[in-house]
Amino acid sequence: MKDRQLTAEMAAFIKLARNLKINYSVIASYFVINQGRIADVMKGRRFPHIPPATRLPSDFPKV
């Protein structure tokens, strides 16, 4: 299975979700991406200039 292409919008949501202490696996399954892409965003290797989103998508899993 191939990962979806990571976008700046996704990176903003990932940053907010991690700030809210949402687990990597929950975020990865929502976006259908590898957990390594989340780590790339959080460590600043991808989209370092993008700030966190102000709110999560309405269909994001409640944890």
What whole-number distance in Å separates Cα of residue 7 and Cα of residue 21? 21
Domain membership flag for residue 12: yes
Q: Report the pLDDT value the prediction gives residue 62, as an integer from 0 to 100.
A: 83
pTM over the 0.85 mark? yes
Query: Domain span at residue 12?
Result: 8-42
Predicted confidence (pLDDT) at residue 1 exceeds the cutoff of 60? no
Retrieve residue 50's tokens.
Answer: 């993008």
Cβ(44)–Cβ(14) below 8 Å: no
Residue entry with tokens 């991690």: 18
- pLDDT by residue (tens digit) across 12-46? 999 999 999 999 999 999 999 999 999 999 999 99
Tell me, yes or no, whether 34 lies in a domain. yes
Distance CA 6, CA 29 (A): 13
| Within-domain flag for 51 | no
31 CB contacts (<8 Å, ≥6 apart)?
A: 4, 10, 13, 14
pLDDT at residue 35, as a whole number: 95
Residue 15 lies in a domain: yes
Flag whether 26 is in a domain.
Answer: yes
The domain tally of the chain equals 1
